[in-house]
Amino acid sequence: MNIIHYLGASLILLVVTAAGVYSGRKVKSAEDFTNGGRKTGAGMLAGAVIGTLVGGSSTIGTAQLAFTFGFSAWWFTLGGGLGCLAMAFFFAKPLYESGIGTFPEIFSREYGRPVATAATLLSSIGSFLTITAQILSGIALITAISGVAAFQAALLTVGLMLVYVIFGGVWGAGLVGMLKTGLLYVGVGACGLSAFYLQGGLSGFTGALPAGQYFSLFSRGVSTDLGAGLSLVMGFLTTQVYIQAVVSTRRLKLSLYGLYACAVIIPLIGVAGIFVGMYMKLNYPDIASASALPLFVLDKMPPLAAGGIMAILLVALVGTASGISLGLGAMLVNDIYKVYINRKTDGRKLLKINRLVIVGILAGASLLAIAGAGPAILNWSYLSMGLRGAVGFVPLCAAVFLPGRIPSNYVMASMLTAPVGVVIGKAVLPTSIDSLFLGVGCSLFIMGMGLIAGRRLYYSQNVWRINDGLKLKKQPDALVIAIDEQYGSGGEEIGKAVAVNLDIPCYGLKELTAEAAKISGIELRLLEKYAERKVQIAYDFNAEDYDKIMMPPAENFIAAMGKATRFFADAGPCVLVNSHASILYAECGDVLKIFVHANEKQRGKSIQRLTQQGAATDSLQLIDKQRRAYYRSIGKKWGEASSYHLAIDTTDTSVETTAMSVLGFLHEKYDGGRRYNKQAV
């Protein structure tokens, strides 16, 4: 490289570094650092996703593999695009509406803290390998152009990663990602077009290279290449930084637009790298394959442009590693440190700890990269994505699409067995069969067993049944069971158990707010915000013409919730928990009103078990106070026994026992006192 090369590189690095420092000013708290405070748009999401996925593996690694296998190298970027589509079509909406910021939080809510911790640790291994692959790309790039030692090249690469992540978080990764994406696609796209032109067009490649090896998506074997694509799709869906990007936008629609754009843009960069790799194979067959793209840039592009392209390649791999390290740091801090070490850490201290964790991650990955240089860069990336997908993909699907159906011990067994299956498959399966299939197969088998056993467990052990089946003999067509509770006393679990026994649906605040959002057009997150505040606004829910009344936002919320309650109750018998159906629907149907309460110690334990966080006494009292004030504002008394048909103290009482009490009361009320007993089905 001459002075003009360095000038071009310096200009690019100066511009991108300035963007990273500027973006860091937007980070004021741990929330901004980990999910952008839900302030980002579609462009920022696309920048974060592309800036993370399109790095050394997508450019240098793709050209390296194309040097030997041609279009088989496209699976990395093509699989990334397919992963974006899968996220947009199936996962974006439930993830966004859940309000969850990290991948393990999904598992914690569905399967419990031990499973979430295991998911964090196991998926962290895959993320760590991705960072290692990017550092390997950086080492190859820097040593090819400067001749410095691998250790020095690693230090420079990691130093740049720290600048972008430590001072920017999601804003840094997203803003730099947008800038980097534009520069990268211009630079690498120019290289691809140049290679295409220099070789005389497509005929110059097809006439000189064997079609079966260079112009097939399956030149490495159908199983191997399909496994590579599948690993990208599953790895994308289970990678923290991509989930984080989806939930960081202002609206769900913006997340979808960003994902659609990524699905189109990401595969294009792979095509350019493929033509460069094949060109270098034809004209420089004796070079190291990892140097195909860097050497093409230096030899075939104008010096000033070449310097800029080399710099943006460095920024690309730095952006990918920094984005992955951001997501990995968020998981370790939120799901390990915050849960097991210090639950009361404030936002600013948590931000500092997050940054320190990222420093440790990058340092460890650089050491592994120096010690493990050798295999193709894309092999590291495929292994990384495959491990993450094998561990988390099937459990994630179950959490999103089959909630409450699979016991956590089966999920834990699935996550532990899947990566073992991948490793064993590498050792015992023929090279033509990707070991990912064995790992995912193990996960599917165990989760399938869990689905069967979970249904049996839920119906026969967790909930006792009346001896003659699911339904009451004289169950009214309009029966509504309305359960109010002191926060943490188990009302929702009891409601679900009762609903299962009666074979009727159970709706809680989550379902009610979702339906209220559809009916009213009010944004879901605003309804969720109001839902637990229980605003103190008096309003007549039974008024038939309230749609015509000009109401302030709080009253709009109450009216929307009233409509949702009526919608579910009118649809048929159901259980409504914390919906205030005891007052919203009291005059319009056959309502059984139940109040569930417990002492503060019991409630605190229950909340800690369900949320994996400490339940302070003042928090319990505050929520109860809000609920009481809400009832008082509409002339009712919350928690007073005379306001309910049945009041139950759940202190030191299991969900099963309490549900049986409710079922017994229903039996006496509607079946004329016929005897019942505890009998498992």
Note the pLDDT of residue 477. Answer: 55
Q: Is the pLDDT score of 38 beyond 70? A: no
| Mean pLDDT in residue range 97-116 | 74
Residue 336 or 294, more confident = 294
Q: How far apart are CA 616 and CA 347, in angstroms?
A: 18
**Of 50, 75, 73, 34, residue with least CA distance to 386:** 75
Task: Check pLDDT > 70 for residue 402.
Answer: yes
Under DSSP, the state recorded for 470 is S
pLDDT of residue 615: 47
Of the candidate ranges 72-76, 182-186, 502-506, the one whose mean pLDDT is the lowest: 502-506
Residue range 573-621, pLDDT digits in tens: 888 887 565 555 554 456 788 888 888 777 776 666 555 444 455 566 7
Task: Tell me the mean pLDDT in the region 265-279.
Answer: 95
Angle, CA of 36, 259 and 79, to the nearest 5°: 120
Per the CB < 8 A criterion, the answer to whether 459 and 559 are in contact is no
In this predicted structure, which of 156-165, 382-391, 429-438, 443-452 has the lowest mean pLDDT?
156-165
Q: What is the pLDDT of residues 215-244, one digit of tens each?
A: 999 999 898 899 999 999 998 998 877 887
Please, are residues 92 and 256 in contact by the beta-carbon 8 Å criterion? Answer: yes
Helix (H/G/I), strand (E/B), else coil: 601:
helix
Whether residue 14 is predicted with pLDDT greater than 90 in this model: the reply is no
Percent of the chain with pLDDT over 70: 74
> How much is the pTM?
0.64
Q: ∠ CA(523), CA(529), CA(530), 5° rounding?
A: 95
Between 408 and 263, name the one with better pLDDT.
263
Three-state SS sequence of 214-262:
HCCCCCCCHHHHHHHHHHHHHHHHCCHHHHHHHCCECCHHHHHHHHHHH
- Rounded to whole angstroms, how far apart are CA atoms 16 and 176? 6
Tokens standing for residue 62? 């793709």
The pLDDT, as a whole number, for residue 463 is 37
pLDDT of residue 168: 53
What is the phi/psi pair of residue 480, to 5°? -125, 125
The confidence band for 537, taking pLDDT boundaries of 50, 70 and 90, is: very low
Q: Is the pLDDT of residue 173 over 70?
A: no
**What per-residue confidence (pLDDT) applies to 609?**
56
